[in-house]
Amino acid sequence: MEPLLQTWIRSFLDSLLIERGLSRETATAYGHDLNALAEFLTPAEQSALGDVERKRLTDFLVDGRKQGLRPATLARRLVSLKMFFRFLSEEGVIEQNQAAVLDSPTLWRHLPGILSPQQVDQLLKAPDKKTPKGRRDGALLDLMYACGLRVSELCTLRVDQLHFEEGYIRVRGKGRKERLVPVATATARRVQAYIDHDRPVLVNDPETAGSVLFLSIRGRPLSRQRIWQLIRELGTSVNLPQDLLHPHSLRHSFASHMLSSGAPLRTIQEMLGHADIGTTQIYTHVDQRRLHQVHKHFHPRA
């Protein structure tokens, strides 16, 4: 039977590729670091991740230094640990994140790529509105951007979680935590039209489909991989940059556009479902970067 640690390493790497849109090379490098951790920990520790103490993680980093690993490799190894244990905490696997207190310089913070409002508009208009599949894709993208959803949240979203008359949807996020997210009237109309006219066309077997909102042409719930492919295909069809065509780019764009429009950071944190305000604060860096770019482009003495 596969150790619990290996199971969660695979889930973590999948989330990096599909939800965060990191390159396969980066995910592979993180995988090497975490496999090294698996070899370092005892079988008992691998099966009880919540019992792994901070000193053991520090010992793992020290062991890498004794092996002669380069500073850059050790720095990446620390990032791998912090990201992996934060993932475990968000998934509810561990109660206390022992890696959170390990020091890491701010230069390791990964600033997400975002689409401009015009590029988002292009993407939302890309699906073919003449077919049930195209209208499904349009409703899917619209809801994903309008509510800042993770792709995993979108895949599992059920029809009974939509409360359009009250103007919100109920989202079950990481660690099975629920939150209420406001939804715009125009988006609600588009999704409701899909439910009324197109979803019934896609339902082949009510038992298989269940109450999941977005279905494939075979009547089954869409997978995270399929949604990623859809975004790639549709974005490519309107010539959007390839490095921005992943599910998390819509979530990043939602947060950045909200911040640029003056939304309070705490409000954005609640809508995104971030447990820690520090995770949301990355968008202040993104916005500052955008302001610097605008200043450099338009100011005569920049």
Among candidate residues 73, 106, 139, the one where a domain is terminated? 106
At 118, which amino acid appears? Answer: Q
The backbone torsions φ and ψ at residue 113, rounded to the nearest 5 degrees and listed phi first, read -80, 145
Catalytic residue at 133?
no
Q: Tens of pLDDT along 61-85?
A: 888 888 888 877 888 899 899 999 9
Which pLDDT band holds residue 93 (cuts at 50, 70, 90)?
confident
What's the confidence (pLDDT) of residue 112?
63
What's the confidence (pLDDT) of residue 105?
44
Catalytic residue at 274?
yes
- Adjacent-strand bridge partners of 158: 212
Within this chain, do residues 127 and 101 fall inside the same structural domain, yes or no?
no
Within this chain, do residues 138 and 241 fall inside the same structural domain, yes or no?
yes
Q: Which of 77, 190, 224, 251 is catalytic?
A: 251
Catalytic residue at 30?
no
Within this chain, do residues 269 and 130 fall inside the same structural domain, yes or no?
yes
For residue 299, being part of any structural domain is answered with: no
Within this chain, do residues 88 and 191 fall inside the same structural domain, yes or no?
no
Within this chain, do residues 90 and 183 fall inside the same structural domain, yes or no?
no
The answer on pLDDT for 57 being more than 60 is yes
Within this chain, do residues 164 and 218 fall inside the same structural domain, yes or no?
yes
Catalytic residue at 285?
no
**Domain ranges, residue 196:** 117-294
* Dist CA 57 CA 247 (whole Å): 31
**How distant is the alpha carbon of residue 55 from its chain centre?**
30
The answer, as to whether pTM is greater than 0.85, is no
Q: Tens of pLDDT along 201-243?
A: 988 777 766 799 999 998 889 998 899 999 999 999 999 998 8
For residue 112, being part of any structural domain is answered with: no
Which CATH number characterizes residue 34's domain? 1.10.150.130
| String of DSSP letters for 46-107 | HH-GGG--HHHHHHHHHHHHHTT--HHHHHHHHHHHHHHHHHHHHTTS-SS-GGGGS---GG
More reliable by pLDDT, 48 or 164: 164
For residue 101, being part of any structural domain is answered with: yes
Give the count of domains, the chain: 2
Within this chain, do residues 89 and 222 fall inside the same structural domain, yes or no?
no
Segments of the chain assigned E as strands? 162-163, 168-172, 178-182
More reliable by pLDDT, 208 or 142: 142
Within this chain, do residues 66 and 213 fall inside the same structural domain, yes or no?
no
Within this chain, do residues 225 and 157 fall inside the same structural domain, yes or no?
yes
289-298 long-range CB contacts below 8 Å, 24 or more apart?
A: 289/111, 290/256, 290/260
Tokens found for residue 67: 């092996």
What's the confidence (pLDDT) of residue 229?
92
Within this chain, do residues 49 and 147 fall inside the same structural domain, yes or no?
no
Q: Which of 82, 135, 150, 246 is catalytic?
A: 150
Q: Which of 56, 133, 172, 174 is catalytic?
A: 174
* Dist CA 131 CA 154 (whole Å): 21
For residue 98, being part of any structural domain is answered with: yes
The backbone torsions φ and ψ at residue 7, rounded to the nearest 5 degrees and listed phi first, read -60, -45
What mean pLDDT value characterizes the chain?
Answer: 86
